[in-house]
Amino acid sequence: MALDSSKTTGFKYVGTRPNRPDGLDKVTGRAKFGADAYAPGMLHAAIKRSPHAHARIVKIDTSKALAMEGVKAVVTRADFATGLEGEFGDILENVMAGEKALYDGHAVAAVAATSALIARDAIKAIEVEYEILPHVTDVDAAMQAGAPVIRADAADASVPEGLHPNVVRYYESGHGDVEAGFAEADLVVEDHFLTEATHQGYIEPHACLGTLGSDGKGELWCCTQGHWYVQKVCAACLGLETSQLRVTASEIGGGFGGKTTVFIEPVALALSRKANRPVKLVMTRSEVFRASGPTSSTSMDVKIGMKKDGTITAAQGTFRLQGGAFPGAPCEMTAMCAFAPYDLKHVHQVGYDVMSNRPKQAAYRAPGSPMAAFAVESVIDELCGQLGLDPIDTRLKNASREGTRASFGPTWPRIGLVETLEAVKAHPHYAAPLKKGQGRGISCGFWFNHGGETAVSLALSEDGSAQVAVGTPDIGGSRASMALMAAEVLGIPYEDIRVTIADTATLGYNEISHGSRVTYASGLATIKAAESAVQKLCARAAAKWGIPEDAVYWEDGYAKPSGPNAGDFEPLHIDEITATMGATGGPICGHFEATPEGAGVSFAAHIVDAEVDPETGKTSVVRYTVVQDAGKAIHPTYVEGQFQGGAAQGIGWALNEEYIYGADGRLQNAGFLDYRIPVASDLPMIDTVIVEVPNPGHPFGVRGVGETSICPPLAAIANAVSNAVGVRMRQLPMRPSRVLEALESAADG
């Protein structure tokens, strides 16, 4: 009996493109998102936020708000747990300020009232006395001597002596001798690059409905990428026993990393505990911008040496990441991803995590990697241009491949960068002629991908259909992918499988849907759970036939005797076995709980054609092609969607999106009218090519696909614009005014 379903070819269901199971609910409005939950007696909450970038909280007077008709509870930091340190301490400090407001929009108090209107009026009645402190919002300024200290003693042991207290983590890695490598080069290019903070731009604001009684038992409904993590954080912030809080994840209107942490849920629960009523809390769009988690802004220096034949002789990068008012900017990820596509004898990378008076940064698809690619791939483009080299041939010449040493240390296992670059070279886009005024840009990108704690349960019904419970919120069509993988193992149609996202009371701990881990890890767990059920199905058939269990195998939905020696029995279909399962041993289920550690890294390469209007400076992306190694595309349509989504978000990041802070430290553009994300008319059709170099760590070869697609766009678009206008673009976003400035400076010579 074959219990191992591992294969990379010969699939019946995997690789097909059925409709998504949640599609009808979403197009008819039946799907329930974070703000769609209601409860009897429910109150509405609003949060009082600091208007100052940095201020000591001298006094909070809530008496006038509490006296208002309809107001049922007010909370401040005094209503939360004390003594928290580390990660949970930082989250609580971000959820509700303690002694200081650390950024414009930092929560200082909250109200629950009988209507949202009363709650919003009540927070105006809360009087807060502030002592305004000096602030800093720029990463380079925050590192300078004399810069205001955001939080003393926040730095960890990695930070060398002598750096400003706002530098809270430091990372350095590499090998070889970069100075010797630069001496071997025919050309060395060194440049400075800047990127601004951007927001994930998810459509759905953070929203939740919390109920918490004085007995310490609670229920929470929220939109999140990881409800077990929310459970853990809320329990810590409120001093609860973790298992007494049941958390259910709603449908999610986009996350992209921004919903991997907690902003409002402990507030709703604290208000509920105080008011003894359910409390609903929904962020406004302005609050999402001011007080959720954008990306880091960056200041970067990259230096690369190259021989005339295109060989890279050495590479060095310094990456300074502004992470807001708390430690955690992914400086090490930026540094590790920066030169990952290249086989380098001499390489050195340094990362700085720098605090400022901005909201705490959060993950955004491949956190830290896109900015690194912008700097590194821009310098490689400049080198290729000056040396007259083909940008793909040059990247192929230096490409990381199995057996070469990664820039961050280990030896690469089987990876698909070479196949990806060869697919770019073979694509018609790469050879297509450009019109006057257009430029073409190329970039590589890299992301690690991840496994993580995962639990899946599969149960068969009497009619032979199956229900699969997974614990990873579906942020990209994963219910379809899980159903396809279960169908492949069970040998039953995709439509006969229903996949649900279980709540925290139903399954073991599941790590957040992040790190492009869901199709890999929950997929692996689904396959293993299905194999476990198949083993039981075979055992029931063996018992019916009176032969050993290992004389039965499973094929295409049937239990079959394994050969003439096993006996001559008519194969039993799954529904013949499940129809009598209650009388032959009981329900048939499969489970799998583990921390899969075989995630496969992935590489992408993008081709972009851009056209710049020399009078206005406006850039139009006229053609875009994404090529990426997926390992194995379980549902190719959703893989292509991930590729296109990464490119679309990258176009916004490259051309228009930015957090703009005034001299007063206040965010100037906290809304979609002033924070310009791409709309359909800004985008070309984004072509995709799926490369499949199987990951040996997954039964079907899956690598993650959700994040790598946002790594190349910033650089590919910047290279396209630079080649269109003849000026190297070193700062994002390349908004029209900035492009005009570049054109004017070039004209001035």
Partner 1 sequence: MVDVALWSGLRPLVGGRDSVAVEGGTVGEILDALRRNYPALVPTLDAGVSVVVDGRVIASSLTEPVKPDSEVVLMMRLKGG
Q: Which residues bind partner 1 (CB under 8 A)?
A: 156-158, 170-175, 256-258, 260, 330, 332-333, 336, 348, 363-367, 408-413, 447-453, 514-517, 595, 597-599, 601, 697, 707
Q: To the nearest whole angstrom, how small is the minimum distance from the Cβ of residue 172 to partner 1?
A: 4
Placement of tokens 């400075």 in the chain = 192
Q: To the nearest whole angstrom, how small is the minimum distance from the Cβ of residue 171 to partner 1?
A: 6
Nearer to partner 1, 50 or 695 (CB): 695
Q: To the nearest whole angstrom, how small is the minimum distance from the Cβ of residue 676 to partner 1?
A: 21
Nearer to partner 1, 93 or 511 (CB): 511
Q: Where are the beta strands (DSSP E) in 250-360?
A: 279-282, 297-306, 312-322, 347-354
Q: What's the DSSP call for residue 449?
A: -
* Tokens, residue 621: 């992306």
Do 72 and 112 touch, CB atoms closer than 8 A?
Answer: yes
Of all helices (H) and strands (E), which one includes residue 168?
A: strand 167-175
The C-alpha R_g of the chain, in whole angstroms, comes to 27
3-state SS, 18-78, equals CCCCCHHHHHHCCCCCHHHCCCCCCEEEEEEECCCCCEEEEEEECHHHHCCCCEEEEECHH
Nearer to partner 1, 212 or 601 (CB): 601
Helical packing angle, 713-725 and 736-747, nearest 10°: 40
Nearest-angstrom CA–CA distance, 225 and 227: 7
Q: What phi-psi label fits residue 257: left (phi over 0), alpha (psi between -120 and 50 degrees) or beta?
A: left
Q: To the nearest whole angstrom, how small is the minimum distance from the Cβ of residue 279 to partner 1?
A: 29
Q: To the nearest whole angstrom, how small is the minimum distance from the Cβ of residue 410 to partner 1?
A: 4
Placement of tokens 């400090």 in the chain = 93
Q: What does the angle CA 166 – CA 170 – CA 175 come to, to the nearest 5 degrees?
A: 155
Nearer to partner 1, 173 or 731 (CB): 173
Q: To the nearest whole angstrom, how small is the minimum distance from the Cβ of residue 206 to partner 1?
A: 16
Nearer to partner 1, 415 or 574 (CB): 415
Nearer to partner 1, 396 or 711 (CB): 711
Q: To the nearest whole angstrom, how small is the minimum distance from the Cβ of residue 436 to partner 1?
A: 39
* Tokens, residue 538: 């075979």
Q: To the nearest whole angstrom, how small is the minimum distance from the Cβ of residue 178 to partner 1?
A: 11
Do 599 and 523 touch, CB atoms closer than 8 A?
Answer: no
Q: To the nearest whole angstrom, how small is the minimum distance from the Cβ of residue 252 to partner 1?
A: 14
Nearer to partner 1, 430 or 653 (CB): 653
Nearer to partner 1, 158 or 500 (CB): 158
- Counting Cβ atoms within 10 Å, is residue 24 exposed (0-12), middle (13-18) or buried (19+)? exposed
Q: What's the DSSP call for residue 549?
A: G
Nearer to partner 1, 256 or 430 (CB): 256
